[in-house]
Amino acid sequence: MANLTKVYEMTKHLIDGGEVVSPLRPYLGMSGLGHSCARYLWYSFHWYYEDKYTKRLARLFARGHEEEPKVWKILRDIGYEVWGDQTEVEYGFGHVKGHVDGMVKNVIEAPKTTHLLEIKTASDAKFKTYVKQPIKKSHPVYYAQTQLYMHFLKLTRCLWLVVNKNDDSIHIERIRYNRDDAEQLLRKADSILMASVPPRQPFPRTYYECKWCSAKDVCWNGAEPLKNCRTCNHSGIMHEGEWGCDLVDDPEVSIPVDFQRIGCDSYEVIAE
């Protein structure tokens, strides 16, 4: 009989190991604007580094998207109306974008009110924190995401639902729109878009979030940023989510995204 434990150990590095590189997103994700560090967000928007994951982590990240149609069916089975998957919202000349999980109506507590629908998955330990505390306290990044989506979709309520990946239990919270919180986040987005250099480090390098931050090498360890148009001193944002270069004679000409990822021989790294 085959030794199943040995087989797993021999193939584990093939199944779970290796690196998966996350594609550089052309816009600043609205889903991340609640992050505590504006410097990190600026680095992300300017493509200073690449996010790299193991295959196992990549599967975990994909799990959330795979769960959405299942949750839609659960809600429809109990009489809710669900629609609007991946509806796009944008801000800041098209440089800040988000994609919602949907909209929902016939919610028991307020059947006539259209709600934003946001769906997440969580490990058992994390799931329990959501049950114990409102999302604004347990996970402010998700709370910020809901506020911005409600702001642009002109909604006043969100149905926020998280699925426990260990036992498939579900926790639901209704979140109210808070205009002050949304506008504060938009001011934060404005400051990131308009900054020509990264904001100052808001935390000491020993801060717990800095230890596992994807940008820690360029932020704290002196690593060179990736070479591309967005880390170049000659580039800048334009309207319609586009980027331009001050070396181009026509100021209306934008740089194609594929070219932005490569840069040119006139590359000059942004001086902080």
Encode pLDDT of 67-83 as tens digits: 899 999 999 999 999 99
The predicted pLDDT at position 43 comes to 98
Amino acid letter, residue 192: I
User: Quick check: 59 pLDDT over 80?
Assistant: no
Residue 55's pLDDT band (boundaries 50, 70, 90)? Answer: confident
The predicted pLDDT at position 23 comes to 83
Q: What are the structure tokens assigned to 32, written together?
A: 């991340």
Structural domain boundaries in the chain = 21-192, 227-272
3-state SS of the chain is CCCHHHHHHHHHHHHCCCCEECCCCCCEEHHHCCCCCHHHHHHHHCCCCCCEECHHHHHHHHHHHHHHHHHHHHHHHCCCEEECCCCEEEECCCCEEEECCCEEECECCECCCCEEEEEEEECHHHHHHHHHCCHHHHCHHHHHHHHHHHHHHCCCEEEEEEEECCCCCEEEEEEECCHHHHHHHHHHHHHHHHCCCCCCCCCCCCCHHHHCCCCHHHHCCCCCCCCCHHHECCEEECCCCCEEECCCCCCCCCCCHHHHCCCCCCCCECCC
Amino acid letter, residue 69: P
Domain 21-192's class?
alpha beta
Residue 3's pLDDT band (boundaries 50, 70, 90)? Answer: low
What is the number of other CB atoms lying within 10 angstroms of the CB of residue 258?
A: 7
- Mean pLDDT across the chain, nearest whole number? 92
For tokens 């669900």, the residue is 82
The predicted pLDDT at position 14 comes to 67
The predicted pLDDT at position 178 comes to 98
Encode pLDDT of 138-180 as tens digits: 999 999 999 999 999 999 999 999 999 999 999 999 999 999 9
Percent of the chain at pLDDT above 90?
82
The predicted pLDDT at position 272 comes to 77
Cα separation, 168 vs 162, whole angstroms:
10
User: Quick check: 86 pLDDT over 90?
Assistant: no
Residue 54's pLDDT band (boundaries 50, 70, 90)? Answer: confident
Higher per-residue pLDDT: 65 or 34:
34
The predicted pLDDT at position 52 comes to 79
Strands 157-164 and 170-176: antiparallel
Average pLDDT, stretch 233-246?
A: 96
pTM above 0.85, yes or no: yes
User: Quick check: 56 pLDDT over 80?
Assistant: no
The predicted pLDDT at position 5 comes to 63
Residue 4's pLDDT band (boundaries 50, 70, 90)? Answer: low
User: Quick check: 242 pLDDT over 70?
Assistant: yes
Cα separation, 70 vs 142, whole angstroms:
20
